[in-house]
Every structure is written in structure tokens, then in C-alpha cells.
């Protein structure tokens, strides 16, 4: 029989539990909204670019490429820094600070009276977006904990597929109705909502000995190698668009890879050492890059080939849309699969889907299925590898692990968009057989960088927490 004293104490505890659940849901909702804004901002520029160039200039000399490259390079610089900050400060500091900068950049972009101001605003957008991506994954990872993290991160990964569909559509609609400046102005109230929700609902992270001990000393050398190497690699891949030529671009990309190779000697504070060792984390890192190469190369190069073969713009849009839907589907199904069966099954399924997509693209058969499989495979692989990298990192390094996974995605996507596109253009001749070689290269990439690491992935899920 329960005493009155116990009964009296149970109600407040139950109410407190319900309150914690409610605030946790609000915080997760704010993290998802912030990630959606950052992801859509990365995809919207292509839609509004013609209107922007006719208004503020920048079309001559290929300068418009910096509207995209400036965002991307700033995101590369902001990502590892955000991971380092997330492990040493209150999560709210990073999330609120990044969202506030994103808000300010949106205002500056909307009010931009010159091309230079707009590029500067886009750089700030990229810096903030890199931090928002990291903070969103860290917030969700810490709220749900190691046992439920995989399902939650799978849900969060769905945002990328949604953004790939909504970004261009919303951008085009807003530009048509109100003008391109409102594409950025609409971010302002949404960013304000995110800031308020995080400030009110996000609980303070628990203090750990590791986080206290790691507060002193910013890893300047490692940061310079990571950001400088990544930036050189990405700039080199866009050498043609940036006026560097094929030779200059290749030299720059190789210099970037050399700088990234040196991170192994200085790594640990910004990039987990396991990335460079013979560990499951290293295999997951390679699979992340490979999956993004196949995905972004497919959605970039396949439409070019389909257009050359006479497919309508609507048909091409359907193929691209199916890739985004596939990403959402693959991410959604992966979380439960990891929890029940470990990392290997979902990685193998994703790898086989990517291989199937590359083969179908090479043969020209069922292009709609090629797009869908590319999305499913990328969603499954990247959600699994993120869970693996986070699970194998101690709690006090969750931010660094998340930022490393994000950086690997950026490198893979850039390599897919620019590297395979350049290969396709180089092989393009009057013979379609020559053009197909670019897609067969993708098939080889899928086998070597995704399928083989998947076969070596751990059967059981383990965490360091």
C-alpha cells in the first residue's frame, strides 16, 4: 500500500518527466528546423542565380561561381571549428551563435546592393551553415543518447533529401512571387524561432572530465591543415569554373590532398585519430566519401546524358526527385536496422544500391531507378557511417566526430560533382560508349570505397559511452 508521502512525491516527478520530454521534443524540433534551413540554403542558389545576376551583376568573368564556392569553402572552415567548440562549450552557445550568424547573413544577402556584398553574405551563410549542421547532429545525439541515437540520426538525415526537393521548389516559388531577396528574408523569423526554442528548451550538457581537460589550447596547426587542405582540394576540383584550367586545378587538388595527409601526424583534436588508422571508423570515413561521390555525380552527370538522349525536362526532374525521395527512404529505414542488426547489413544494402545505380546509369536502362537507388544507397550508408563514427567516439568528442563526418560528406559531394563531371566531359565523344566510361568509373568507386568497407563493418553495434 502506498503511503501519502510517496504518492505526493510521485506526481511532481511524473510532471517533471513530462516536462523534460516536452522540452526535449522542442529542442529536437528546433535542431531539425535549423538543419533544414542550412540544407535548403545550400540548394537554393542555383534556382535564384539568374535573377540575382541580372540585379546585382557578377555574370562576367565567371565571378558568379563564388556565390557557390564561397558558401562551400566557408562551410569547410566552419565545420571542424564547430565540432571543437561543441565539445568545450554549452551546446546552446554553438547552436544559438550559429543560428544568429545565419540570420544576420540572411538579412545582409536580402539587402545586398552589390555582388561583393552578396558574396560576403554567402560566405557568412556557409560558415554558419557548417556550424548549424554540426550542432543539430550533436544536439540530437546527446538528447537521445547512444541507445536511441541511430534512429534519431536516421530521422535527421532525412532532412537532406527533403531539402534537395524543397530548396529549388521553394526558391523558385518565392522568387516568382516576391523576388529573389525574399528567399533570404524568409529565414529571419524562422531563425528567430530556432534561437528562442533552443534557449528555452535545450538542457545543459553534463560536464565530463574530458571536456574540462580539453579546454586549453586550440589546435592551430591541425585546423590549418584540415581547412586549408579541404579548401585547396575543393578549389582544385572547380578549377575550370574558377578560371584555373585543368593543370592548375589538378595541382591545387593534389596539394590539398597532401595537406590532408599531414593531418595524421597532428590529428586528434579536430579529426579523430581512428579516421587514419585501420579501424571501423576509417572504413566508415571511406564509405562516406564514396557514397557521396556516387550520389552527387549521378544527380549532376546523369541529367546531362538524359538530356542528350532526348529526355524531357520534366522527366529529368522526376529522376532527380526520386533520388531525393530515395535518400529520405534510405535514412528512415536505416535507424531501426542498425539498432537490431548492427552496422554491416545497412551498409551492404546501401553499397549494393549505389552499385546498381552506377550500372544502370552506365547502361542507360531505367534512369528513374538509377536515381532512386542512388538516393537509397546514400541515405543508408551515410546514416550508418555517422552512427558508427559517433558510437566509436567518447562522449566528450561527439562534436569532433560529427564535424569529421560532415567534412567527409562535403569532400565526397564536391569530388562527385566536379571530378566525375570533368571526366564525363573529357570522355564525351561521338561515341556513347566512351561517355559510359564515366559511369563505369562510378561503379568501380562504389565497389572499392563503399562495398568493400561495408563488408568489413562490425556485425554488432558497440558504443564507447
Locate 381 and state its grid cell: 550508408
Nearest Cα residue to 337 out of 329, 313, 395: 329
Q: Is the pLDDT of residue 163 over 90?
A: no
Q: What percent of the chain has pLDDT over 90?
A: 18
Measured CA to CA in angstroms, residue 218 lies from 81, 84, 223, 387 at distances of 10, 9, 9, 26
Q: Is 70 exposed, middle or buried (0-12, 13-18, 19+ CB in 10 A)?
A: buried
Q: Which of 301, 295, 243 shows the shortest CA–CA distance to 437?
A: 301
> How confident is the model at residue 5, as a pLDDT?
44
Instruction: Spell out the residues 6+ positions from residue 57 whose beta carbon is closer than 8 angstroms to its own.
Output: 114, 115
Work out the widest C-alpha separation in the chain, in whole angstroms. Answer: 88
H/E/C letters for each residue in 335-359? HHHHHHHCHHHHHHHHHHHHHHHHH
Domain boundaries, the chain: 16-201, 220-271, 277-465
* Topology (CATH level 3) of domain 277-465: Growth Hormone; Chain: A; (1.20.1250)
pLDDT of residue 356: 93
Predicted confidence at residue 99, as pLDDT, reads 95
What's the pLDDT tens digit per position in 358-388? 999 888 788 889 989 999 999 999 989 988 8
Q: How many CB atoms lie within 10 A of CB 163?
A: 23
Which pairs with CB-CB distance under 8 Å and at least 24 residues apart come from 39-42? 39/133, 39/159, 39/160, 39/162, 39/163, 39/164, 39/167, 40/163, 40/166, 40/167, 40/170, 40/171, 41/71, 41/102, 41/125, 41/129, 41/167, 41/187, 42/71, 42/75, 42/129, 42/163, 42/167
Q: What is the pTM of this model?
A: 0.76
Residue tagged 570505397 (cell numbers): 449
Q: What is the mean pLDDT of the chain?
A: 80
pLDDT digits (tens, 9 = 90+) for 281-322: 888 989 999 998 888 888 777 877 777 777 777 777 788 888
Fold of 16-201: Growth Hormone; Chain: A; (1.20.1250)
Cell of 303: 541529367
Interatomic CA distance for residues 106 and 37, integer angstroms: 11
Cell of 171: 526558391
pLDDT for 377 equals 93
Q: How far apart are CA 193 and CA 339, in angstroms?
A: 33
Provide mean pLDDT across the span 176-181: 88
Separation between Cα atoms, residue 74 and residue 232, nearest integer Å: 12
Count of Cβ atoms closer than 10 Å to residue 144 Cβ: 18
Q: Where is mean pLDDT largest: 92-106, 128-142, 388-402?
A: 92-106
Using CA atoms in the order 105, 182, 73, 370, what is the torsion angle rounded to 10 degrees? Answer: 150
CA distance 335 to 338: 5
Read off the pLDDT of each residue in 206-233 and give the average, rounded to a whole number.
Answer: 71
> Given this chain, do its domains 16-201 and 277-465 carry the same CATH topology?
yes
Instruction: Compute the distance between CA of residue 384 and CA of residue 347 in angstroms, rounded to an integer.
Output: 7
What is the rounded CA–CA span in Å between residue 223 and residue 202? 29
List CB contacts of 196: < 8 A, sequence separation 6 or more: none
Amino acid at each position: 500500500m502506498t503511503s501519502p508521502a510517496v504518492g505526493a512525491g510521485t506526481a511532481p516527478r511524473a510532471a517533471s518527466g513530462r516536462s523534460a520530454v516536452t522540452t526535449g521534443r522542442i529542442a529536437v524540433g528546433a535542431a531539425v528546423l535549423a538543419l533544414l534551413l542550412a540544407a535548403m540554403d545550400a540548394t537554393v542558389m542555383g534556382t535564384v542565380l539568374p535573377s540575382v545576376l541580372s540585379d546585382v551583376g557578377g555574370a562576367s568573368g565567371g565571378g558568379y561561381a563564388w556565390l557557390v564556392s564561397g558558401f562551400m569553402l566557408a562551410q569547410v572552415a566552419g565545420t571542424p571549428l564547430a565540432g571543437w567548440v561543441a565539445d568545450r562549450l554549452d551546446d546552446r552557445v554553438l547552436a544559438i551563435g550559429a543560428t544568429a550568424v545565419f540570420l544576420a547573413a540572411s538579412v545582409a544577402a536580402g539587402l545586398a546592393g552589390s555582388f561583393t556584398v552578396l558574396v560576403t553574405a554567402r560566405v557568412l551563410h556557409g560558415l554558419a551553415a557548417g556550424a548549424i549542421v554540426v550542432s543539430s547532429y550533436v544536439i540530437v545525439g546527446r538528447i537521445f543518447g547512444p541507445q536511441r541515437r541511430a534512429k534519431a540520426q536516421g530521422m535527421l538525415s532525412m532532412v537532406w533529401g527533403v531539402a534537395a526537393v524543397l530548396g529549388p521548389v521553394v526558391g523558385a516559388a518565392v522568387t516568382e512571387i516576391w523576388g529573389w531577396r525574399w528567399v533570404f528574408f524568409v529565414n529571419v523569423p524562422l531563425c528567430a524561432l530556432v534561437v528562442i526554442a533552443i534557449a528555452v528548451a535545450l538542457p545543459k550538457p553534463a560536464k565530463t572530465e574530458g571536456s574540462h581537460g580539453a579546454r586549453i589550447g586550440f589546435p592551430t596547426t591541425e585546423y590549418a591543415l584540415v581547412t586549408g587542405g579541404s579548401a585547396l582540394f575543393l578549389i582544385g576540383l572547380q578549377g575550370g569554373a574558377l578560371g584555373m584550367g585543368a593543370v592548375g586545378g589538378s595541382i591545387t587538388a593534389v596539394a590539398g590532398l597532401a595537406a590532408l595527409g599531414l593531418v595524421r601526424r597532428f590529428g586528434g583534436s579536430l579529426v579523430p585519430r581512428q579516421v587514419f588508422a585501420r579501424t571501423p571508423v576509417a572504413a566508415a570515413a571511406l564509405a562516406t566519401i564514396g557514397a557521396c561521390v556516387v550520389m552527387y555525380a549521378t544527380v549532376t552527370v546523369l541529367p546531362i546524358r538524359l538530356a542528350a538522349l532526348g529526355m524531357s525536362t520534366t522527366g529529368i526532374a522526376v529522376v532527380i526527385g526520386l533520388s531525393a525521395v530515395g535518400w529520405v527512404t534510405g535514412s528512415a529505414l536505416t535507424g531501426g536496422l542498425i539498432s537490431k542488426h548492427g552496422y554491416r547489413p545497412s551498409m551492404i544494402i546501401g553499397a549494393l544500391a549505389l552499385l546498381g545505380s552506377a550500372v544502370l546509369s552506365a547502361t542507360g536502362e531505367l534512369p528513374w531507378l538509377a536515381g532512386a537507388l542512388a538516393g537509397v544507397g546514400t541515405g543508408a550508408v551515410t546514416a550508418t557511417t555517422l552512427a558508427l563514427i559517433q558510437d566509436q567516439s567518447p562522449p566528450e568528442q561527439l562534436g569532433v566526430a560529427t564535424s569529421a563526418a560532415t567534412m567527409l560528406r562535403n569532400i565526397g559531394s564536391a569530388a562527385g560533382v566536379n571530378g566525375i563531371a570533368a571526366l564525363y566531359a573529357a570522355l564525351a565523344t561521338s561515341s556513347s560508349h566512351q561517355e559510359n566510361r564515366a559511369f563505369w568509373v562510378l561503379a568501380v568507386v562504389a565497389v572499392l570505397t563503399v562495398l568493400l568497407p561495408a563488408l568489413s563493418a562490425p556485425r554488432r553495434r558497440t558504443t564507447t559511452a
